Chain A
Amino acid sequence: MAGRSGREISAVQKGSIRSKILSWEGALVLILVAVNILGVAISPNYNVENVLREMPRYLAEIFMMFGMGYILVLGDIDISVGALVCLAGTVAVLSSNAGLPFGVAVIICLGVGLLGGMLNGFIATRFTELPTMIVTLGTQIIFRGIAEVLFETWGNGGGTASMTDTKGLMLLATKIGPFPIAFFCVLIVGIIMIVVLAKTTFGRKLYAIGSNKTAAYYAGVKVEKIRFICYSVLGLLAGLCALFLLTATFGSNTTTGQGFEMEVIAMCVFGGIATTGGKGNLIGGFIAAFIIVCLRIALGQRNINTQVILVIIGLMLIISVLVPAISSAISIRKKRAKA
């Protein structure tokens, strides 16, 4: 069942515990453990308290990883979400500063995210001949552009705005023991997204569309409706990301969320979700996200040059994509040798 990339299609049920441990997810768990051992080994300050304290900014990104996973399983891509985070955060900050209560600002933040996602979904499903990379490149520029215009017209100018009433954000930034609230929110959202993708017919349809869109269509799957829903969900999660990012920055500026789209795509791909669609699952992406976050924190505490950290993460990504390709190439060669 494995294609060229060598990863198993998740829709295929696997029974034995042995095969579960030997799966890509099993390997990711090993890497996560290794990264944490590395952290403790190289930094005396790498402990639960410090890691959880440094984590919130990264946790915000993980929300979008789940939505991006859906989009990638569909065989689509969305590179507009970083800019959408900026737009949602900006509108929330400006509306709060205009005197609206925090609860309303939260709804506006999530609402702007949802609307942005729906716009992506609308264009992508109405004009199916357009590559989604180009559609979302366009909306990426539009979203950030609108945010910049908002700063000029409603903000104090200068491309940055900070929330004057921070009580609500402080509440969201509170911790239960050492755990920030964002951590529990990521867990809850993660479990819902993972279960829906792996255990429901809706999730199965995503794999069907990602594997063969035309076949899925003729099998009665409402392809465009499902794609629209996935883009909207990702947009909503971008709003959620913006909200939790605000708890770390108390404000928004023109560079907010810059590069987030690529970071969440990297988390997904490292987690074994193929950008060609139909392969991988969110558990992999979830573990991969924590590998990247823990590695960044550990290397950061050792004061390793941030550019070097980026190189290491880039290398990990390339290797993780190569591993299954190499192993499948070897197995194909072996089969040929037998025949």
Chain B
Amino acid sequence: MKKKLLSVILATAVAASLLAGCGSSAADTAAPAADAAAPAADAAAPADSSGGGKTYALVTKSAGNPFMERMASGFQEVVEAQGGTVVIQNPEAATPDAQISVIQSLISQGVDSIAVDGNDANALTAVLTEASGKGIKILTLDSDVAPDTRTVYCNQAGVSQIGETLMEAVYDLTGGEGDWAILSATSQATNQNAWIDAMKKLMESDSKYAKLNLVEVAYGDDEPQKSTDQTQALLQNYPDLKVICAPTTVGIAAAAKVLQDQKSSVKLTGLGLPSEMAEYIGEDDAHSCPYMYLWNPIDLGRLAGYTSIALVDGSITGAAGDSFKAGDLGDYTIEEIDGSTQIILGPPFKFDPSNIDEWKTVY
């Protein structure tokens, strides 16, 4: 009996410590939020109070992804400068299931807008429809979801723009002919699949690319280890491989390390973060990546921040033709592209040996 009593006491102690632990961690997170909100409110009061008193949420794809962190910092900077409260949520895994839980929680909290970076185009349909039904403004950035479940999509660059840019890079690096492969993120990643489709269509339609042979689309699931394994498999399976194109920041960094470590003659291009790729970028054989592209995740986050505020204060509704001023980013107009409403940030930016040193410290 004593033993049982003891186990109950211990269990209660567990619960109590849990209470205490959570209470303090909740206080910890609450305190800086309050601190941050106070100066932001001061700054906003004289200038523009359009974002004041509202809560703007951002749901990223996953935690621990530098691109997501930069994007979130841009979003936070804009919203706080306007006096709004920011909630950044990183789901526990890079799956739509985890995002559903997070969005459900945001609905409970009664936020005013949710900007989502979708892990799946369709799986979020039910939860986002429910959120819209509660009067929450839904927008997407980076990766889109089903168009009728959100108001507008903040697109980092047009799909065809990216497809053309990457295809041209592959053409340039292969010298116009030979084997090349793609190392992508997950097999269901919305934007990667759209870009790959755009590249495949270009290869079919333009005779300029007729001598290029796409041997495989490998999926590294945006995990460094799996991307490394997939790169090694590509090198083993295709001895004549000339170029790997990795349209994902995790994949390109993993592939760059493999190619450079093995002193492979295979060249790499794609979309990568300058800070992670700086040591691999160079024209000579000692470097694996002559040049690559990306947009600015901070600006994308800021654009989503301005868009959230404009949607919540009612200055735009998300219809094609609506235009608004996104601070120092300039004026943007919502465009109708392939039957969905989008705001396009701008063309992808090229990082090569001439500018990588100045960008690697930025993000």
A interface residues (Cβ-Cβ under 8 A, vs B): 2, 6, 19, 22-24, 26-28, 30-31, 34-35, 37-38, 41-43, 45-46, 50, 53-54, 57-58, 148, 151, 157-162, 173, 245, 247-251, 253-259, 296-297, 299-310, 312, 316, 319-320, 323-324, 326-328, 330-331, 334
Residue of B nearest to A39 (CB): B22
Residues on the A chain within 8 Å of B15, using CB: 30-31, 34-35
**Chain B 1-40 near chain A by CB (<8 Å), digits 1 or 0:** 1111111101110111011011101100100000000000
Are A159 and B97 in contact (CB-based, < 8 A)?
no
Are B26 and A57 in contact (CB-based, < 8 A)?
no
Residue of B nearest to A303 (CB): B87
Min distance, Cβ A47 to any Cβ of chain B, angstroms: 8
Are B2 and A326 in contact (CB-based, < 8 A)?
no
Residues on the B chain within 8 Å of A330, using CB: 3, 6
> Given that A22-B4, A162-B122, A327-B3 are contacting pairs, would A259 and B188 also be in contact in the complex, using a CB cutoff of 8 Å?
no
Are A57 and B121 in contact (CB-based, < 8 A)?
no
> Given that A300-B102, A330-B6 are contacting pairs, would A305 and B90 also be in contact in the complex, using a CB cutoff of 8 Å?
yes
Min distance, Cβ A154 to any Cβ of chain B, angstroms: 15
> Given that A300-B105, A302-B29, A307-B92 are contacting pairs, would A27 and B8 also be in contact in the complex, using a CB cutoff of 8 Å?
yes
In the complex, identify which listed stretch (B43-51, B123-131, B310-318, B337-345) lies at the interface while the others stay far away: B123-131
Residues on the A chain within 8 Å of B361, using CB: none
B93-108 contacts to A, CB under 8 A, are 93-98, 100-102, 104-105, 107-108
- In Å, the complex CA distance between A300 and B102 comes to 7
> Given that A30-B12, A306-B92, A327-B7 are contacting pairs, would A158 and B187 also be in contact in the complex, using a CB cutoff of 8 Å?
yes
Are A324 and B126 in contact (CB-based, < 8 A)?
no
- In Å, the complex CA distance between A316 and B18 comes to 8
> Given that A303-B87, A326-B10 are contacting pairs, would A256 and B97 also be in contact in the complex, using a CB cutoff of 8 Å?
yes
Kindly name the residue among A158, A308, A316 whose own CB sees the greatest number of chain B CB atoms within 10 A: A158
Q: B110 on the interface (CB 8 Å rule)?
A: yes
Min distance, Cβ A296 to any Cβ of chain B, angstroms: 7
Residues on the A chain within 8 Å of B107, using CB: 50, 53
Are B101 and A54 in contact (CB-based, < 8 A)?
yes
- In Å, the complex CA distance between A310 and B92 comes to 8
> Given that A19-B4, A53-B107 are contacting pairs, would A254 and B186 also be in contact in the complex, using a CB cutoff of 8 Å?
yes
Partner of A249, one of B6, B16, B123: B123
Q: B73 on the interface (CB 8 Å rule)?
A: no
Min distance, Cβ A321 to any Cβ of chain B, angstroms: 11
Q: Which 3 A-B pairs have the closest CB atoms?
A: A162-B122, A159-B188, A159-B187
Residues on the B chain within 8 Å of A23, using CB: 4
Partner of A324, one of B7, B12, B120, B193: B7
Min distance, Cβ B54 to any Cβ of chain A, angstroms: 16
Residue of B nearest to A331 (CB): B3
Residues on the B chain within 8 Å of A159, using CB: 186-188
Residues on the A chain within 8 Å of B26, using CB: 42, 302, 304
Partner of A253, one of B19, B108, B123: B123
Are A41 and B23 in contact (CB-based, < 8 A)?
yes
B127-157 contacts to A, CB under 8 A, are 127, 146
Main secondary structure of the interface of A (DSSP, over half): helix
A selection of 23 A-B contacts at a CB cut-off of 8 Å is A30-B8, A30-B11, A30-B12, A41-B19, A41-B23, A45-B110, A53-B107, A54-B105, A57-B97, A57-B100, A151-B187, A160-B121, A162-B125, A173-B126, A249-B97, A249-B124, A250-B125, A253-B120, A256-B97, A300-B105, A302-B29, A303-B29, A303-B89
Min distance, Cβ A43 to any Cβ of chain B, angstroms: 8
Residues on the A chain within 8 Å of B11, using CB: 24, 27-28, 30-31, 320, 323
Residues on the B chain within 8 Å of A247, using CB: 126
B236-276 contacts to A, CB under 8 A, are none
- In Å, the complex CA distance between A109 and B28 comes to 45
Are B29 and A22 in contact (CB-based, < 8 A)?
no
Min distance, Cβ B13 to any Cβ of chain A, angstroms: 9
Partner of B90, one of A299, A306, A319: A306
Are A327 and B10 in contact (CB-based, < 8 A)?
yes
Min distance, Cβ B178 to any Cβ of chain A, angstroms: 26
Are B7 and A27 in contact (CB-based, < 8 A)?
yes
> Given that A6-B7, A38-B22, A160-B122 are contacting pairs, would A306 and B96 also be in contact in the complex, using a CB cutoff of 8 Å?
no
Partner of B3, one of A250, A253, A259, A328: A328
Residues on the B chain within 8 Å of A245, using CB: 97
Q: B109 on the interface (CB 8 Å rule)?
A: yes
Are A301 and B109 in contact (CB-based, < 8 A)?
yes
Q: B220 on the interface (CB 8 Å rule)?
A: no
- In Å, the complex CA distance between A257 and B110 comes to 28
Q: B301 on the interface (CB 8 Å rule)?
A: no
Are B14 and A323 in contact (CB-based, < 8 A)?
yes
Are A158 and B93 in contact (CB-based, < 8 A)?
no
Residues on the A chain within 8 Å of B119, using CB: 255
Residues on the B chain within 8 Å of A259, using CB: 93
- In Å, the complex CA distance between A238 and B8 comes to 33
Min distance, Cβ A160 to any Cβ of chain B, angstroms: 4
- In Å, the complex CA distance between A312 and B25 comes to 11
> Given that A38-B19, A306-B63 are contacting pairs, would A258 and B93 also be in contact in the complex, using a CB cutoff of 8 Å?
yes
Residue of A nearest to B108 (CB): A50
Q: B84 on the interface (CB 8 Å rule)?
A: no
